Structure formats: structure tokens, C-alpha cells
Structure 1
Amino acid sequence: MEEDLRALARQAVEASTAASDPDYPLFHVAPPVGRLNDPNGLVVHRGVYHAFYQFSPFHPDRKLVYWGHSTSTDLTTWEHREAAIIPDSWYDRNGAYSGNAVVDRGTVHLNYTGNVRPSEEERDTHQCVVTSTDLVTFTKSPRNPLIPEPPHGHTRHVRDPQVWRDDDGSFRMCLGAQRQDLTGCALLYRSPDLTTWEFEGELSFPETPELNQDFGYMWECPAIVRVPDADADKIHDVLLFCPQGISPSREGFKNIFPTCYVVGELHGNQLRNTGDFHELDRGFEFYAPQVFAREPGESGPTLMTAWVGNASEDHQPSMEHGWVHTLSVIRELTVKDGRLIQTPHLDTSRAHTVTTGLPGQIGPTKVELEPLNGRRSFRAVFTVEADQTADWGLRLGTETSHVDFLFSGGQLTVDRSTTRYPHGNQRTVTLPQTSTMTVELIHDRSVTELFLANGALSFTLRSYLEEAPFGVQMWAAEPLPVQFHDVARFTPSAPQPIQSSRIQ
């Protein structure tokens, strides 16, 4: 008798204690039980934001990956839905792996990789699709797998389809891949109908040749996204990708696998007019970014989220309550001077806004930010009049368990060595050159995201602190002016029942 994988996942969710965990976030997407990793199939459909994600409801006892599903109307309040893609077909029996969404004539196509492991040493990957007109009922295509084999010259490590509509009305697909010589690359396919796919070749980089041959041993989650320029009436083609096994001889790229981007112009199979590659986020936990798809012709900002996690780093305090990992806060992307700018897209209309009780200056004596003390989910936006030589800092938590953000000598050092998850201990990054530092600090129980210089630099981390007492402090070696522009505190809302979905 075959297992009812949908019923088993439902039972795991019903037995979960995740929502009662004091570390469980209020406005970040987190799994109802088990393990979450890559965001998948992000799409805006009839005014609702849908975030699918890699979901392992039986983690750590059994590695079987579904597509989890959460929805929101404001990108801040998220509701769980039942799993959307169940790994119950011959071509995905060991997991429904990552992919994206594209909308065509009212139908949402969820593209994904079906994973099959004939043995521990063998792997088969199949590119597949599920369709839906209401994102409640999901139908696997009878023609799956649409791409059953890797192209000649590549191993079976081909996965993570990202599909978009080209300007001529056809569709293109970008896939992460590995060549037979064990080097990483991205593959391009084209289709007239989202069903029949023709291999076009590898993505190449005429002006950035180091990306063409031996840049890591595998590329995961490559996506070509269109991002507006912040200052000009221009759209850029930006490649987001996760090259595994690179060791650049410059600052950054400290995570087990980094997340990179390249800004350019896509012409056929070439990304032209590119500059250097850059790391997308400098924090301890960040991977597999993806942007939201929209209906054809629908305008709106380019919105992105990512996995606040890394491979092989699941042993976190939240596992005591049977869950691990979250997605990042939603971020709006623009390009400025050839670099990506990330601005948090967080609706604070349902939060309590603070307008008083905040300092206008910080100095040698530590200042307690009283409106935030005891609040474990908040957003604070402020500016500090400080040049590159100024020494100042922020502390989240208590004297014995805290995250410190230390600004000194043109660098930021983030230290979480006293937290309940000190993995990596501390990291130092170079700050953008500016005489007035804008800071957006987002903290949601056990997730912290810092955005500096109007989004020119972002730093994401898990911050498992003591539940209580909880405080926020600021200090500076010499008196510095500080101006708070927006401070909002979030409180828990009543839990919502998980709404069912249907597979056909």
C-alpha cells in the first residue's frame, strides 16, 4: 500500500509545537513544522502574494522535500496553506526540488526539479511543471518530465529551473548545472508554450571571462531578473546565482556557499556589459534568492526574498520545537551605479508605531532604547551623523546574550558569539563611504536583518537571544547626532487554521 504523503504531512503539521516557540518569527515566513529552505514559485496572483518554499515536514527523521505554501496580502502577515507539490510521482519520488513561477493566460506554471535517487551514489533530475488557475488546486502535467535528461557535456546535477517570458512572447528557462569536467555553469532553454523546451546553450559572459570556465563546481538557483535603475529610465538584466566551491581573493564569500549577482544586458545566450560579480548579502545566513513573478503586463516593484540559512547548518535551537530556518523579509530591488540596492518591503500599518522616548544623541554612556526594550519583533529606521573614523555601536539582547553591531574605522563587525547559536562568532565587512549612515534594523524574535546606506549593504543572521529580559542599546566613543525616522513594534496575532489545497 502506497503512503499518503499529503496526509502524513498534514499529521506532522497538526502535531507541531513550532508556533509556541518564543523564537518563532512574527512576520517572516517559517515552516509550520520541520525544515524550510529555498523560496520557490514566488508569485503575485489576484492581489495575493504566494511564497512557496522547499519544505521537509519530517525533518530530521526523513529527508523528503515538498513545496510548502504561505500567502499574504501585505508581505508582513503570512498564513500557512497545505503543501502544494507532493513528491509522489516516479519522477520526483525523492523530492520536489526548487523552481519558480510564471503566469500565462491566467494559469500559474510552477516549474520544479524532480529528484530521484536510484542509490546513494546515483541521481536523476527531471524538469517538471505543476499548473493552477486558483493556487488552491494543483495539477501535475501529464507530460512530466518536460526535460528528462541533461544536455550532452553536463552531469545529472542540473536543477532549479527559473522561467520567464521573453520580449518576443516565447519563454526562456535558466537552469543551474555542472559540466562533465565538474565546473559550474547556467544553461538556457527556450519554449513557445511552456511545455516543449529546446536547449540553447550555456550562459556566457564576454566581459567577465572568469565566470565562463572554472567558477566553482556547481551553480545553484541561477535566475535572470529584470531590475529598474534607481536614477534612470532603464531596466537591467541581473543574474542572481549561487556558485558552489569558489574562493575569491577579496573580502566576503565566507558562507559555506555564497550568493552572488552580476548586472548586465542579456543578448541571446550572452550577458553583456557586465562588471564584476558581487556578494548579495554579507551576513552569516543567506542563500537561494528569488523574485516574485507577476501577471503579464502587471506593473510593480521587483521584490525578492531568500533563504535565511545555509546547507548543513540545521542544528539550531529551534529544532527543540521541531522547526528550522526562515525566509528573509521581502526586499525591493533597484540598481544604482552598477550595484544592487535592497530596500525592505515591510508593512508596519498593523504594528505599534513609536514616536517618542528615543534619543537625539548617543555618546560614551550607553543609551537604552526604551520603546524597544522587551520587544522582540520590531523595525527601526534611523540616521547617525558619523564619518568613517567614528566608533559607535548597537547591542541587541542582554549583557550575557547579545548581538553586537560595532562601527569603527570604516568597518562593521557583527558579533553573535554570546548567543544560543554562535556559529561563525563574528564577521567584519567594509562599510559604504558616507558621512551620514542610514540604518534600517529589522529584528523578528530570532531573525535579524541590517540594511545600511539606503540599502547599499545588507547583513542577515539568525540571532537566538535570551527570551527575557530583552533590550536594545546604543553607544558612541564621542557624542554623535542620531535621528529616528520610523520605529514600529510587532505583536503576535491569533493563529490561523491551515487552509487545504488539492492535487489533481
Structure 2
Amino acid sequence: MNYRPLFHLSPPSGRLNDPNGIFLDGDTLHVYYQHDPCFPHAKKQTGWGHAIASLSAAQPWRHYPDALYPIREYDAHGCYSGGAVVDGEDVWLFYTGNLKRDGVRIPSQNRVRAVEPSGPAGGFYEHDPANPLINGPAEGFTGHYRDPQITRDDAGWRMVLGAQAEDETGHVVLYRSTDLAHWSFEGALTFDTSQAEPGLSPDLVPGGYMWECPNLVTLRDRATGEDKDVLVICPQGLEPVLADGSTHYASSDQCGYLVGRLDGTVFHVERGFSELDYGHQFYAPQLVEKDGEAIMLGWMGLPAQDDTPTVKEGWVHTLTLPRRVWLEDGWLRQAPVWELPESDSVATLQAGEGTYALVDDSGAEAFRVTYGGGELCLACGGDERVVPCPAGSLDLIADGCAVEVFAGDGRIAGASAVFGASGARWKGWEAR
């Protein structure tokens, strides 16, 4: 069996999860990611892997040695997720250090200077001697306090963190800085929904017991020319909802976005919560702004879903393809950055409404897409996901075990890990 994709980032060995520290150096896309190189043969030791690729054309990823290892007192139990900041000639990586003492989680926010990350060695990494820059959670929050993502606005630098309050509800908290070294706590974001239009999900703002991996970016709406703040969050613990024949919150680990305007710590919601991806495996995305749009990658996996056939090959999970993400009429749209060349493990199709099956070399159907009548249905192994979707283009991509669907001119996306009976050797997409 061989399930490894050619163009979706997978780890050389071990376990991959959240994408981290995405940044652009000209046309070169740097992606760091959560990496347990010894999975499943040793205890969890999460650090950061590092790989690069060009945005201009599809090519296999170039892997560098891991960038971060959990070897310091403040990150002894893991270098958890975070982001990258390019400030002039400097590239800084920010991450959450995980430390557990007597069963108590002690999170800290730390930074590392990446020296020559585009060089032949993949960079050298210098931890700030002032670490931890933020030691422990703010008052009223638990040890679930992580995943720093940093962007610039007119007031300086802003950091958002995923957090859990002591009443076990999910939040995003905001810090500010003028120098990337000293951070002041501004508070938890609150949400004004008085002028909000609904998104695709049942809630204007979701609940959940923890919000992970927040992203706060400013994108220019193609339809209006206005700049809007887009807040991406990953709420955990939502109950599945079936409404109007559509599937919402199918997993307890969700990911979605809100559109509006941040003023202080108040997020004025203009478009309520919509899930970012309706496939079977998608979580913890990271976005980097580019020319009024964004480049995004997500994790094609979910917490506690490590038992896949690829474990026998010595690795588990992939990231999505890099996606272009833009705002149009208050909605996010997505499209793959690359057009993939066909091979025995890569099958693509550009189509319209209809029913299409991904068939492997044994003749078995591994995945099915049904598009029409204002709906998109994604079916894998008896698990069907249905979402409203207007008529438009349909792009189907299978690359090894990684399958991605883009429907309705980019209005709906779906990522799923698919394991054919004969490995990931695809006969192709067939109309049904």
C-alpha cells in the first residue's frame, strides 16, 4: 500500500498536525507544522517541522530539519502551535510552550528568531532569552491558553490566543505590542451581533468549551472594495445539528469564521459563523495575508483520529494544498493555488453539477460527490456531509490519500482523507 500524496505536505516520518508559522519569502512559501517524529513508537514529543514550496507551480515539498524541539523547561511537554511574523529583515516564530506540573498545565507564549530560514540548512533558531514573554494564562482563564497568531494594524502588533475561561467556555483573547517583545493584555473579545447577517451555520457566534487556533486577518472584499476583519476560530465541543437537510458541526472539533470589524476588544459581527470546510478531516488552519487576500493551509486530520492505514507506512496526516482565500460579498471563497499534473496517484476533474465517484485501481468507489439542486453532498465510508451550495464550478482533486473539493465557484470547500482498497492509486473520477 502507498497512500502518500505528491503535493500535499506530509511528514517524512511520524505524526503531523497543525500548520504553524506560515510566511512568504518572495514566491517561497514557508510552512512549519506540529511534528512528533517518533510517533507511534515513543511518547509524545511535539516540536515543529519545516518545509517549503513555490507558490508559482505545483511541486513536491522540500523538507528541512525540524526547527523546534521540546527541550526547555517552559516547553518540556511540547512546542505547541503558533505563528510567524516578518518584521523588516527579521523573521520571528511565536509558539505556546506546554509544561505540566503535578497534572497542572502551565502554558507560556514564546518567540524564536529564525535566521536564514530560506538558506540551505533551513534556518537556525535562536530562542529569546526573555522567554516566556507571556507566562501563564490571564486571570479567569484555565491552562488551555495557546496558539498565538500575530498581525499588524494601525496601532501596532496584535496577538490573538485561543482560550478557555474558568467556566469552561471558549474565547479569543487579545494582546498588543509595539515591539513584538512586550505584550499587554487587552481582554477577551466580545461580539456585537446587533447588525449581523447569518452565516451558513445555526449560530451567529458558536459556543464550545475551548476555541483553538484563532486567526485574525484583514481582507479586502472584492465586491465592495472595503477592508473587513475576518476571525477564524476552532470551537471544540459543539453538538451536531441537522437543519433543513444540511449537516452542521458533524465533528466535535470544528472550524469556521466570522466577518466584521474589530474595535478595541469588541468584534462587530457583520456575517455570522460559517464552517470553513465541510469535508471529513479539516482543522486548525492558518492564514497569511497577501495582497488583500490570504494563503491558507489546514490540517487534514482531527484530534484523536490517528488510527489510519498510513501508520503502517510510518507516518500519519497531511496538510491541505495551499489555498487562495478571498472575501466576496461578506463570504469567504477558496481555490487551490496549484493546478496538479495527473499521475497514477493524482486524479483531478473540473466539472459542473452531477454525481462523481473517485474510483481506485481495483474498481472500488472510495469517495462520492453529488452536486446539484442547491446542495453539495460529500460521502466517504458511509459518512455523508450535506451543505447548501449554489450552482457554479466544481473542482475535484485526489492526491494520494488527500481529497479536496471546491464547489460553487469556491463558495464551499471540503477536505477528506480517503483510503482506497488498492492504496491511493486512482483510476480517476467517474460520472455516475
TM exceeding 0.5:
yes
Task: State the match for 1:379 in structure 2.
Answer: 348
Match of residue 376, structure 2, among 412, 433, 450: 412
Task: State the match for 1:277 in structure 2.
Answer: 273
Q: Deviations over 1:244-281 (max 9, x none)?
A: 11236443110230101101111111111422201110
Offset at residue 396 of structure 1 (A): 2.8
After superposition, the Cα gap between the structure-2 partners of 1:165 and 1:473, relative to the gap in structure 1 and judged at 3 Å, is: closer
After superposition, the Cα gap between the structure-2 partners of 1:438 and 1:130, relative to the gap in structure 1 and judged at 3 Å, is: same
Q: Distance in 2 between matches of 1:80 and 1:112?
A: 20
Q: Distance in 2 between matches of 1:26 and 1:300?
A: 29
After superposition, the Cα gap between the structure-2 partners of 1:440 and 1:205, relative to the gap in structure 1 and judged at 3 Å, is: same
After superposition, the Cα gap between the structure-2 partners of 1:473 and 1:150, relative to the gap in structure 1 and judged at 3 Å, is: closer
Task: State the match for 2:161 in structure 1.
Answer: 175
Task: State the match for 1:187 in structure 2.
Answer: 173
8 Å Cα contact 2:97-2:110 kept in structure 1: yes
Question: Quick check: which has more Rg, 1 or 2?
Answer: 1
8 Å Cα contact 2:170-2:210 kept in structure 1: yes
The amino acid of 2:47's aligned partner reads Y
Task: State the match for 1:43 in structure 2.
Answer: 23
Task: State the match for 1:480 in structure 2.
Answer: none
Q: Distance in 2 between matches of 1:468 and 1:291?
A: 29
The answer as to 2:93 corresponding to 1:110 is: yes
Superposed, 1:308-327 pairs within 5 Å as 308-327=300-319
Task: List structure 1 runs of 4+ shifted beyond 6 angstroms.
Answer: 208-212
Task: State the match for 1:262 in structure 2.
Answer: 258
Q: Distance in 2 between matches of 1:260 and 1:444?
A: 24
Q: Give the alignment's TM-score, normalised by structure 2.
A: 0.90
Superposed, 1:127-146 pairs within 5 Å as 127-135=109-117, 136-146=123-133
Q: Distance in 1 between matches of 2:11 and 2:303?
A: 17
SS in 1 for 2:219: strand
Q: Distance in 1 between matches of 2:240 and 2:404?
A: 24
Match of residue 35, structure 2, among 55, 66, 77: 55
Offset at residue 243 of structure 1 (A): 0.6
Q: Distance in 2 between matches of 1:442 and 1:198?
A: 44
8 Å Cα contact 2:358-2:365 kept in structure 1: no
Task: State the match for 2:398 in structure 1.
Answer: 443
The amino acid of 1:470's aligned partner reads W
Q: Distance in 2 between matches of 1:450 and 1:431?
A: 14
Task: State the match for 2:200 in structure 1.
Answer: none
Structure 1, 45-54 or 307-316: larger mean CA deviation: 45-54
The amino acid of 1:405's aligned partner reads V
8 Å Cα contact 2:21-2:32 kept in structure 1: yes
Q: Distance in 2 between matches of 1:416 and 1:211?
A: 29
Offset at residue 194 of structure 1 (A): 0.5
Q: Distance in 2 between matches of 1:264 and 1:317?
A: 41
Task: State the match for 1:73 in structure 2.
Answer: 54
Offset at residue 433 of structure 1 (A): 2.5
The amino acid of 2:138's aligned partner reads P
The amino acid of 2:133's aligned partner reads L
Q: Deviations over 1:303-336 (max 9, x none)?
A: 0010000000000000001100000011111112
SS in 2 for 1:454: coil
Q: Which runs of 5+ in 1 are unaligned?
A: 1-20, 353-373, 418-424, 477-504
Percent of aligned pairs with the same residue?
35
Q: Which runs of 5+ in 2 are unaligned?
A: 118-122, 197-202
SS in 1 for 2:261: strand
| Count of residue pairs the alignment pairs up | 411
Q: Distance in 1 between matches of 2:355 and 2:54?
A: 38
8 Å Cα contact 1:101-1:293 kept in structure 2: no
